[in-house]
Amino acid sequence: MAPLTRRKFLRVTAGTAGAGLLAVGGYASVWEPYRPKVVRLEIPLARLPEAFEGFTIVQLSDFHYNPHLGTIPIRAAINMVNQLNADLVVLTGDFVTLPMISSIFNGRRRAALEAEPCARLLSQLQARVGRFSVLGNHDVGANRRLISEVLNSYQLPVLHNRSVPLERAGARIWLSGLDDYLDGDPDIEQALKNVPADEAVVMLIHEPDAADDVNKYPVDLQLSGHSHGGQIWIPGFGAPWLPRLARKYPRGLRQVGPLTLYTNLGLGTIRMPIRLNCPPEVTLITLRAGKPQRT
């Protein structure tokens, strides 16, 4: 057998590394972005009425609809959700994608028009109590009024700085929603104006880092998205890039003072259609009565 020279060793090593990078790149672009996973959580809330013990909420976020491959994770998620038989479905924003240079070639208008086919798809979601939405920064940047009208017309009502009561066996909790925290006009006090101070509140906000403001108010649980988890998550390092207002709480369950926060990894992608260690997410939350654990 011929001796392994330094040049041959480097050539073999480079070839092996290149094959490995190609395999990882293929997985990140062809496999992971299109296969949502169900994340199941039990979240205790100290003010949860006994009648709401076991109440289930499905959260979906960051759809970034496009009519081609972008429909694959949305359709898969809809099938998953409808098998979960949840009480409530909440959608935490970014139904469309605003182009990086939105002023060119009428980019805002074209982005806003994607809301209708996205909402038509999402109208297939089933929930016993109802389905509710809030807008994300891409929605507000594209056309807040048009996208809100489209979502409302498909019975995916947008909570714009307002709250709605959810009733069960004579007890009540509240579902609140804020306008986008980056580019909208969020107003927490307006959203909570008609909510009794001693009743539990679940609040939908697109950007998770808003929790540093929300935790000053009588809100029990905040559900957010926006980060996509970075789309690429490197163990021991984290995400190479995260958007503003998603850098402090980019993923998962956190306790921010008295407030419980959950950041969903989203369904779609932006800029590059890749995901690595960051699969599209369907979150199934079961509410429990009890004191939240510090994280």
- HSE-CB at 194 with a 13 A cutoff on CA atoms is 8
Helix (H, G, I), strand (E, B) or coil at 234: strand
Segment 236-264, tens digit of pLDDT:
999 999 999 999 999 999 999 999 999 99
Q: Answer yes or no: are the C-beta atoms of 232 and 278 closer than 8 Å.
A: yes
Residue 13 pLDDT greater than 80, yes or no: no
Residue 184 in tokens: 């909208």
| The pairing of beta strand 171-177 with beta strand 130-133 | unpaired
**Where do the structural domains in the chain lie, given as residue ranges?**
9-289
- Rounded-to-10 torsion of CA 211, 283, 140, 220: -30
DSSP state of 228: G
State the pLDDT confidence band at 69, using cuts at 50, 70 and 90: confident
Cross-strand pairs, 282: 38
Segment 24-55, tens digit of pLDDT:
444 565 659 899 999 999 999 999 999 999 99
Secondary element (H or E) of residue 83: helix 71-84
Q: What is the CATH number of domain 9-289?
A: 3.60.21.10
Cα separations in angstroms, 150 against 41, 45, 114: 31, 33, 10
State the pLDDT confidence band at 107, using cuts at 50, 70 and 90: confident
Amino acid 18: pLDDT: 37
| Mean pLDDT for all residues in the chain | 90
Residues 88-103, mean pLDDT to the nearest whole number = 89
Q: How many helices (H) and strands (E) does the chain have?
A: 7, 11
